[in-house]
Structure 1
Amino acid sequence: MRSLLRTRSLLRTPESGSLVRDSSLVWLAGGIVGVSFGAVSVAGGLPVWVPVVMSLVVYAGSAQFSTVGVLLAGGGPLAAAATGLLLNTRTAAFSLAVAGIIGRGRATRLLGAHLVTDETVAFALAQPDPVRRRRAFWISGLGLFAAWNTGVLIGALAGSALGDTARYGLDAAFPAVLVALVLPALRADAAVRRCALLGAAVALAVTPAVPAGVPVLLALAGLLLHGRGQRTAV
């Protein structure tokens, strides 16, 4: 409890205003894609509570889309769950990257682990110092969680009224925001650029041959190049 109170006080600083402003674009994108997810799920025949509860408990956009896609295509719950778990394995690497940022205390770490996403980690690591990284993680993470779940609820309630959600181009919102977030790190660090280029090359090469979502996992091969560089430096 004390660790959560310290985290709350950390968010009440003048510097937090700029982080709220900077992360608002991520929240907006999350809310829009959340509307799409809720609408697609209900329009496909799932009850409203399924995407809503999944977003609160699982909270993983790409894994949720893939899981619902398997269910709507006629796949069983085990296949759908396996697909979601496979896609979510990438968050293991993300969690290691922000383990020292989240803070101490069991409750704080548990909540922080639930908020780990591609966008939150990218936004946090783009900050210049440890204190600002921690503020950025919590501000972006809590805001994105709220925006995503609000969007999912709106989309689920709207159901099929939105029509074909693909025509709005909502699937491009998250990738565009993520690219904007990681550009500063790519400009500042040549080693990060090399890792990113290797990961992107692997993902592009395997995309025609593997199921959706798997290229993202295979792109983690870029981390091998980073590890080799670290060992060489030592």
Structure 2
Amino acid sequence: MSERISSIPHTEDTPVDVPADTPPDVPAEARADAAGPPSPGGDRAVVRDALGVGVAVGLSGFAFGVTSAAAGLGLAQTCALSLLVFTGASQFALVGALAAGGSPLTAAAGAFFLGVRNAFYGLRLSTLLRLPRAVRPVAAQLVIDESSLVALAQRDRRSARIGFTVTGVTLYLLWNLTTLFGALGAAAIGDTGAWGLDAAGPAVFLALLAPMLRTAEERVTAGLAVLLGLGLLPVLPAGVPVLVAALAAPLVLLARGRRAGEEAR
């Protein structure tokens, strides 16, 4: 799911099930192995934080339902996207490109590239959570930004599993429910453009993305992507400028590498 939150704070009043001599910079996987007996109070804090994230972000599914209906997708198509894709940024990118007149191929390509990051989350979580094989296919559907960040913010494997599961399940249920309500509401009011609801998707997307831009390098990358996307919008088919804007990241990385090389000399 989107790019929906920037960070998950550790709970200060939560007992930590890690030996006192464990260095704070030890990776999450190593801290999970070093954890002591579970703490009921710690479990409650993890559940509370995970529910907070799940509910807060899950409500934005309403905006997706409205945006999808405004793009011309039917109720069944909109709900199928949330049920099967379940990653907010990719869903918004897909319906946004379709609404702008882009071809289904370019719209799907943009959504795919945004969703690839979840595969990298899965690689990290597989070593941290170590879930039984039987539940891994189900857990894979819940690997999104929020569930990954909540899990990685914990101090032991038990808490990581609880945080991942509660966040993922809460978000999945609420996101799909609010998607349904949003699509039904958009169908009931008719022309969403007349109400200004066609701008709901981009507005929510920007609101979710902005808190994640914490460093100057990230802000430069985002700014360059915006310039590429908007600058090429009049000359390229709808949906293609989004794909070209993805070049902002390697360009910034290339510039950083050259600068580091010059400083080393």
User: Normalization by structure 1: what TM-score?
Assistant: 0.70
1:68 aligns with 95
Amino acid at match of 1:128: R
Give the CA deviation at 1:130: 1.9
Name which of 153, 164, 168 aligns with 2:196.
164
Paired residue secondary structure (1:116): coil
Whichever structure has more helix as a proportion of its residues is 1
Give the alignment partner of residue 208 of structure 2, picking from 157, 165, 174: 174
* Residue 142 of structure 2 corresponds to residue 115 of structure 1: yes
- Taking the aligned partners of 1:209 and 1:170, their CA distance within structure 2 comes to 21
Find the counterpart in structure 1 of residue 71 from structure 2: 44
Name the SS for the 1:75 alignment partner: coil
C-alpha distance in structure 2 between counterparts of 1:105 and 1:217, whole Å: 39
Residues 26, 216 of structure 1: alpha-carbon distance in 2 compared, 3 angstrom cutoff: farther
Query: Is 1:147 the equivalent of 2:179?
Result: no
Given the superposition, is the C-alpha separation of residues 215 and 170 from structure 1 closer, same or farther in structure 2, using an over 3 Å criterion?
A: same
CA contact (8 A) 2:54 2:168 kept: no
| Greater displacement, 84-93 / 198-207 | 198-207
Cα deviation, 1:92-116, whole Å, max 9, x if unaligned, reads 2211121123433333111111111
Comparing 46-55 with 206-215, greater Cα deviation is found at: 206-215
Partner of 1:86: 113
Cα distance in 1, alignment partners of residues 247 and 218 from structure 2:
8
Pair member with larger Rg: 2
* 2:226 maps to which of 199, 207, 214: 207
For 2:111, give the aligned amino acid.
G
Counterpart pick for 2:128 among 101, 126, 150 = 101
**Within 2, Cα distance between the matches of 1:104 and 1:28?**
24
Identity of aligned residues (%): 32
Counterpart-to-counterpart distance in 1, 2:55 and 2:96: 24
Counterpart of 1:22?
Answer: 49
SS at match of 1:71: helix
Residue ranges of structure 1 left out of the alignment (5+ in a row): 1-12, 183-192, 226-234
Task: Give the deviation of 1:152 after TM superposition.
Answer: 0.5
Given that residues 123 and 137 in structure 1 are in contact (C-alpha distance below 8 angstroms), is that contact kept between their aligned partners in structure 2?
yes
Query: What is the CA–CA distance in structure 1 between the aligned matches of 2:130 and 2:70, rounded to whole Å?
Result: 40
Instruction: Quickly say closer, same or farther: Cα 1:16–1:173, change in 2 above 3 A.
Output: farther
Normalized against structure 2, the TM-score is what?
0.63
How many angstroms apart in 2 are the aligned matches of 1:157 and 1:128?
A: 42
Structure 2 segments unaligned to the other structure (5+ residues): 1-39, 230-240, 257-265
CA-based RMSD of the aligned residues comes to 3.1
Distance 1:198 1:134, change over 3 A: farther
Q: Answer yes or no: is the 8 Å Cα contact 2:78–2:183 preserved in 1.
A: yes
